[in-house]
A and B are shown apart, each in its own frame.
Chain A
Amino acid sequence: MEGHKDVLYGLYNDEDVLMDAITKAQKDHLDIHDVFTPFPVHGLDDVMGLSESRLHIAGFVYGALGTLTAFLFMTWVFTRDWPIIFGGKPYWSVPAFIPITFELTVLFSCVGMVVTYYTVCGMGPGADNPTLDDRITDDKFCLSFNVSNSSKDEIESLKGFLTESGAEETNIKTI
């Protein structure tokens, strides 16, 4: 865990006002710490310039791992370890392997992606990530700046920016 930091944040009542504020902050070359919203706001990642999530690549890799695990394991069991003839079919009866191969592909991909998602987000059972305001999960949209190393003047100007861009209230919190 890195040391404590002071975060200046403004709370907005509407996601469209927040989006305009973010655009303005970027025009002014302000360094946004993070944005918090009560629900996924459409287009927010584009406005913030967030790079696309790579979870789907992870999902593909996990899925491929599941496909291989299932198919190769069944192949090994029925051709090497314990070959049995079922219903006069060949030992290596590929069509019969399809259902389980498919299910394990889905299972590996899903479980792997969910675990990866929680890990990269720093979330998990009992995880205690600091939150800025309790109303962020209700109806407030939050834009925040890291002001740990900022002078008083800089903080004041950022505060001014937040209020001007439509924030209903501003606050500093050490997290």
Chain B
Amino acid sequence: MSHHPIISPLRHTLITGDKTYHDITEDICAPSEKVPSTAWVIAFILSVTVLGFGVFCILWTIWMGIGTWNLNRTIGWGWDITNFVWWIGIGHAGTLISAILLLFRQKWRTGVNRAAEAMTIFAVMCAGLFPLIHMGRLWLGFFIFPYPNTRGPLWVNFNSPLLWDVFAISTYFTVSLLFWYTGLVPDLATLRDRSKGLRRKIYSFVAFGWTGSAKHWQRFESLSLILAGIATPLVLSVHTIVSFDFATSVIPGWHTTIFPPYFVAGAIFSGFAMVLTLMIITRKVLKLEDYITMQHIESMNKVIVLTATMVGVAYLTELFISWYSQYPYEQFAFYNRATGIYFWSYVGMMGCNVLVPQIFWVEKYRRNITLTFFMSIFINIGMWFERFVIIVTTLARDYLPSSWSYYVPTWVEIGIYIGTFGLFFTLYLLFTRVAPVVAIAEVKSILKTSGSQYTGVVNRKAVDYKEAAVEADHVHVGHEHH
């Protein structure tokens, strides 16, 4: 059944370098078994320092009060909620890659799903910080949960989108964490079985006693599939509910039915951009180019160009509908976004999110790593601007011209935002040290269908593709003649 090579030009090569199962184990375990590189140490020190400054700014906010921010009477949401929505959007890629792409049987997910899921969890942690601090009295944060209390009991408002958000984000965090960790267990067992002494004891504890029994794998696969099945609507629901925070209000520019799909597309868009930023660095630094290949990068760039276009269509639809509505307040809201005091953020949003990513229609650019890296940064910036446009531009020009104002953040607000980068990268760097950043078992399971020695095409290019197809035809015909 397997004793002749399976040559399939239709299958993309996802693992290059003619790897054996053992090579895969060695390559992927290596980063967590070696002494950290200088680059890692420098990056870690930098991240922790930035995190430290962020913690200081958070403590400053809590000690002095929300007055240390420049929020005012109409601009009640500023950088805090912009950052919250931005981070939560980024946190959509991980579960999308592992859940939706699992359901679609996309094999390229195996190279990037582990790191993307980790990224999701860290991004959601960064996101969750902002609404918590924004409460002002952080120590009363538990009031958001419906628990039996001595004030009646007085319940939370289950009809409020802000409360839906609490449920959506805490559910999303929990499910992502469980999904990620369950997938990690077999790989932690691999690390356990390769280590000795104290290291083995620690990995034994976290590997949950994994043995690799056939029945366990069967249950594992069943669990993964169903978790993917329920995580898929969950991913879509989370940013839908985030968009409800705006859409259920009566503010012109927010009160639109297009918000849920538009927010979800934007979330996937920014999430993939952040995955690309991280993966391009990770594959280089950890020498995982054989596992996170050009094919992976190109696939993600295809998702980028698709979602960029969806977001673009949404922006234009909003403009059209505001004109078509003949409702002056709605028309003003959008006219103000494009030409008002914050026009520069609108330009940044349109440019970075809609126009620039269009170059990815061209295969040559999709397969250019440097370009992809810069593009991913552009998109991250563009998506931040999108949230800024929606939140700040709208609030700065409300119904009463007497309360119109201009908002600039204070150093505290900027500091907290920068601090979340510190938190994000500190956690990500720690993750690359203690756990395999590529799902070892999953990559092994696609070796025979997508490894370079089996697909017979080492580096698929448009031209090679046709040639290989012709060659494979000959091989196939040859077999039939036997």
Q: A14-B2, A40-B441 known; A103 and B171 CB under 8 Å?
A: yes
Q: A103-B167, A111-B174 known; A86 and B217 CB under 8 Å?
A: no
CB pair B237–A102 under 8 Å, yes or no, is yes
CB pair B230–A125 under 8 Å, yes or no, is no
A-contacting residues, B198-227, CB 8 Å:
204-206, 208-223, 226-227
For B445, list chain A residues within 8 Å (CB): 39-42
Number of A-B residue pairs having CB atoms within 8 Å of each other in the complex: 195
Q: A35-B213, A106-B233 known; A113 and B226 CB under 8 Å?
A: yes
Q: A110-B230, A137-B212 known; A55 and B22 CB under 8 Å?
A: no
CB pair B205–A125 under 8 Å, yes or no, is yes
CA distance in complex: A40, B444 (Å): 9
- Using an 8 Å CB-CB cutoff, how does the interface string of B173-217 with A read, 1 for contact, 0 for none? 011001100100110011011100000000011101111111111
Q: A110-B175, A117-B182, A129-B209 known; A100 and B218 CB under 8 Å?
A: no
Partner of B209, one of A53, A73, A111, A122: A122
CA distance in complex: A59, B189 (Å): 26
CA distance in complex: A42, B214 (Å): 11
CB pair B190–A137 under 8 Å, yes or no, is yes
In the assembled complex, how far is the CB of residue A98 from the closest CB belonging to chain B, in whole angstroms? 9
Partner of B2, one of A16, A36, A124: A16
Give the contact stretch, choosing among B32-40, B158-166, B283-291: B158-166
Question: Is B462 among interface residues, defined by CB-CB distance under 8 A?
Answer: no
For B79, list chain A residues within 8 Å (CB): none
CB pair B167–A104 under 8 Å, yes or no, is yes
Chain A interface category by residue count = 35 or more
User: Counting chain B CB atoms within 10 Å of each CB, which of A42, A48, A52, A53 scores highest?
Assistant: A53
Question: Is A136 among interface residues, defined by CB-CB distance under 8 A?
Answer: yes
Residue of A nearest to B230 (CB): A106
CB pair A138–B168 under 8 Å, yes or no, is no
Chain B interface category by residue count = 35 or more
CB pair A135–B178 under 8 Å, yes or no, is no
In the assembled complex, how far is the CB of residue A100 from the closest CB belonging to chain B, in whole angstroms? 5
For A128, list chain B residues within 8 Å (CB): 204, 209
Question: Is A1 among interface residues, defined by CB-CB distance under 8 A?
Answer: no
Q: A82-B154, A139-B20 known; A37 and B217 CB under 8 Å?
A: yes
For B170, list chain A residues within 8 Å (CB): 107
CB pair A134–B158 under 8 Å, yes or no, is no
Q: A53-B219, A81-B155, A138-B190 known; A127 and B21 CB under 8 Å?
A: no
In the assembled complex, how far is the CB of residue B256 from the closest CB belonging to chain A, in whole angstroms? 18
A-contacting residues, B368-405, CB 8 Å:
none
Closest 6 CB pairs of A and B: A127-B209, A139-B21, A129-B209, A134-B193, A39-B441, A53-B222
Interface residues of A (CB under 8 A from B): 14, 16, 20, 34-42, 44-45, 48, 50, 52-53, 55-56, 59, 63, 73-74, 77-78, 81-82, 84, 86-87, 89, 93, 96-97, 99-100, 102-104, 106-107, 109-111, 113-114, 117-118, 120-131, 134-139, 142
Further 10 A-B residue pairs, CB within 8 A, beyond A82-B153, A139-B21:
A50-B218, A59-B230, A100-B164, A100-B167, A103-B168, A110-B174, A125-B208, A126-B208, A137-B189, A137-B193
> Can you name 13 A-B pairs with beta carbons within 8 Å?
A16-B2, A20-B1, A34-B214, A36-B212, A81-B153, A99-B161, A99-B241, A106-B231, A110-B230, A113-B227, A114-B223, A130-B211, A136-B193
